[in-house]
Amino acid sequence: MKLFVFKSKDEFIGIESDYVHRIIDDSKVTPVPLTPESYTGLLYHRGELFDVINMRLLLGYPVDGSAETTRIIILKWLNKKLAVIPDEITGMIWIDDNSKNTNEFYHENHKIRLITPDDLWKKLSELSYGHNKI
Amino acid sequence: MIFGKNYQSFPMDITKYEKIFAQESGKYLKELEDLLMQVEKNLSNLGLWAEVHGKVHSIKGMARALSLNKISDLCHLMEEWCLKFQQGKIMSSTAAVQALFDSSEFLGVLISKNGRLDSFEDQKVYDRLISIFQKSPPENAVTVPVPQPPPSPAYSQPIIAGIDYVRIRYAFIEELLGLTQEIQLLAKRFPSFSKDQMSSGLKNWIDHYTALMKVLYFQLTQLRLMPVGDFADMFRKSIRNIAKENDKNIDFEIIGGEIQADITLLERLREPLIHIFRNCIAHGIEPTEERIGKGKSADGKIAIEARSEKENLYIKIRDDGRGINKSLIIKHLKEKQKITDEEIENMSEEDIYDTILSTEFSSSSGATELSGRGIGMRVVAQSVDYLGGSLTISSKEDIGTEFSIKLPLSLSIIYAIIFSVGKYTLAIPTLNINSIDRIDLSSAEKPESYYDTRKLMGIAGEKNNYATVLSLRYAADKAGFTDEKSCMKLIVDNVIGNRPLMILPMGELLSRIKLFSGIGIMENGDISILIDVDNLP
């Protein structure tokens, strides 16, 4: 299994590369009112709208300005899509398929947390949108 | 020929061209057969023969380009006959026309197999046809052709009407949109030039070019629209099949099919609609004997109606079946949800039927008692909800049931007033704006009647005394609004302008925010959030 790895705060996060639709650079994200803090905004890319999520905030880390990347990871799976802002894109690693069901594993002494897009979506869905949030 | 020679090195291209060839030659074959039918009744019409010749020639040319030699060889021999008839050298005969019919039919087979004779049977037919055409055509008893006047203008006109529409894959439209958008982005990354490098002429040229690109992109987005009728037509076969499974006959009618809607929106309605149709057929429409007993037509009727009103799209599905048994819903409300008689008394018809859409109802015995009417309706309601729409049900016993889906702004271009509030760019359809004014709030008559949009959007900060104010206007037929609300005034930071917007439906997450009705894309690709004025708190 190919794993796409990115960094958020000090954590390495791996996501199955099949879900990674595209990495885009330098795109304008439009903020949307009444959304949770981790919801950065909307991205319009190639005729499609994407919800853009700040990974750091979604994981509950504060934003301290150390995030360098302007890159956005676009995920597509089943009938869903999501754009994620990482702190840094690390690269791609190969792991054996047995690791698929674990939550984390070690690669060259680094702990990598495995997530699925559904995990992210679930986390996002649990947040509140609209006026009941105020 | 080029493609043929390079067949091995361009396997991808060749499949693409083969597809085009199959489409195009299919069209020519159809025209060829139409012509043959005419010429059969009019053997000596030289003009018609010239047209037949033309069609065969076109197929031959395309087949040659792809090195589909079996096809081009047969066409070549057919052409030789046509040429003889066309020049009046030989009088054609019904036998000759029949041979041309046979070979045109076989060409159809060959084209579908990419020009390969993959069975012994095919080879036999092919050889037989070749041997027929290698001989001189069977002549008519009358060998001397009657001198023909030049082909009448009627025949030199194309036999089929001009092509108004073509079919395109939806993914192709998406590709085009993606490409144009990327070209637009290129303009944003234009390298900076010094004055010497950049003449004003070049600058103008670039500006003009980028402006045109924007317009092109905007126009292309319109390709995403599809007539609801074409969409509804896709259900015809499923409806027939479900009806057969249930031993029923259904007349399916489409009303308002010409209304255009966003393909992505329609695509997401596919599942819910099939669910509703299934419900109508299985549970709404009575068995034939029962219908006849009730004095109804033997075949059940299901209609789908599309209507656009303001920026909403309405899709209604009606059946003329037995309707929903209201007393069973009331029984459910009383027994399972402990709702009193008095409360039920006060419920509107709509509210009562909406019970079917609730989770409690779907999982209760009420649903089964209603012969499955409720099962899955919850799911349908949810899907419509995700699209930011709503579903209502109305029903009359023994007359029928109607499911009405109201959808928000389907993809279309609307004009909207774009404005900013804090860091947000928002929009309200121009239709809903009465006026835009600069007002000194300290001397305004009723300052409390002004709506603080900043607060509404969760932005902290004091409002300025001088404010830009949008006065709203509701449609005249909008019931339930007091005078106060119908002239609501919103305080905003800055008005950006009155711009055309392409409206996209919101995703699942944002659809939960009832205050928004859609996402507007401006010509430059910027995003604004469309406010649903009907849902302002």
Domain boundary among B99, B134, B156: B156
The total domain count for chain B is 4
CATH number, domain with residue B359 = 3.30.565.10
CATH number at residue A77: 2.40.50.180
Q: Taking CB atoms and an 8 Å limit, are B513 and A49 in contact across chains? A: no
Q: What ipTM was predicted for this assembly?
A: 0.91
Does residue A104 lie in a domain region?
Answer: yes
DSSP code, position A26:
S
Residue B77 DSSP SS3:
helix
Q: Are residues B8 and B95 in the same domain?
A: yes
Per-residue model confidence (pLDDT) at position B479: 43
Confidence of residue B380 (pLDDT cuts 50, 70, 90): confident
C-beta atoms surrounding B181 within 10 Å? 20
| Digit-coded pLDDT (tens) for A87-101 | 999 999 988 877 667
Judged against a pLDDT cut of 90, whether residue B93 lies above it is answered with no
- By three-state DSSP, how is residue B438 classified? strand
Q: Dihedral, CA atoms, B40, B46, B50, B53, nearest 10 degrees?
A: 50
The predicted pLDDT at position B273 comes to 92
> A30-39, B189-198, B446-455, B461-470: lowest mean pLDDT where?
B189-198
- pLDDT at residue B177, as a whole number: 79
Give how far the C-alpha of residue A10 lies from the chain's centroid of Cα atoms, to the nearest Å: 15
Task: Indicate whether B297 and B362 sit together in one domain.
Answer: yes
Q: Which residue has the tokens 């947000």?
A: B424
Task: Give B201-213 pLDDT, tens digit per residue.
Answer: 888 888 888 778 8
> B232: closest CA among B283, B273, B262?
B273
> Residue B360: its pLDDT value, please?
65
Average pLDDT over residues B231-260: 88
| Residue B27 is assigned to a structural domain of this protein | yes
Closest CB to B513: pick one of A47, A49, A130.
A130
Q: Is the CB of residue B190 less than 8 Å away from at least one CB of chain A?
A: no
Lowest mean pLDDT among A106-110, B77-81, B314-318, B473-477: B473-477
Q: Which residues of A touch B221 (CB under 8 A)?
A: 47
Residue B116 sits in a domain whose CATH number is 1.20.120.160
Report the pLDDT value the prediction gives residue B447, as an integer from 0 to 100: 66
Instruction: With beta carbons less than 8 A apart as the criterion, state whether B231 and B280 touch.
Output: no
| Domain assignment present for B13 | yes
**Does residue B109 have a pLDDT over 90?**
no
Specify if B466 maps to a domain: yes
Q: Is B507 on the interface with A (CB under 8 A)?
A: yes
Total residues found in chain B within this entry? 537
Last residue of a domain, one of B381, B407, B433: B407
B497 touches A at CB < 8 Å: no
Host domain of residue B275: 234-407
- Residues on chain B touching A28 (C-beta within 8 angstroms): 525-526
Nearest CA among B297, B204, B300 for reference residue B244: B300
Structure confidence at residue B255 (pLDDT): 93
Q: Residue B476 — pLDDT band, cuts 50, 70, 90? A: very low
End residue of a domain, out of B101, B133, B156: B156
Same domain, B216 and B335: no
Would you state the structure tokens that stand for residue B203, as one six-digit string? Answer: 């600058």
- Name the residue facing B507 among A46, A49, A130 (closest C-beta): A49
Mean pLDDT of A28-33: 92
Residue B13 has pLDDT above 60, yes or no: no
pLDDT in tens, B393-405: 999 988 999 999 9
User: What would the pLDDT profile of B319-342 be if each residue is shown by its tens digit?
Assistant: 999 988 888 888 888 887 778 888
Mean per-residue pLDDT, B116-142: 82
- The count of structural domains within chain A is 1
Q: Averaged over B500-527, what is the pLDDT?
A: 86
User: In this predicted model, which residue has the larger pLDDT, A85 or B373?
Assistant: A85
For A93, the domain range is: 2-126
pLDDT reported for residue B474? 65
Write down the pLDDT at residue B142.
46
pLDDT beyond 80 at B487: no
Q: Which of B402-406, B427-431, B456-460 has the highest mean pLDDT?
A: B402-406
Percent of chain B with pLDDT over 90: 14
User: B223 — contact with chain A (CB < 8 Å)?
Assistant: no
**Cβ B333 vs Cβ B345: under 8 Å:** no
Q: Residue A134 domain-assigned? A: no
Same domain membership, residue B212 and residue B187: yes
A58 assigned to some structural domain: yes
Q: What is the pLDDT of residue A89?
A: 92
What average pLDDT does range B13-34 have in this prediction? 79
The pLDDT-based confidence of B173 (bands split at 50, 70, 90) is confident
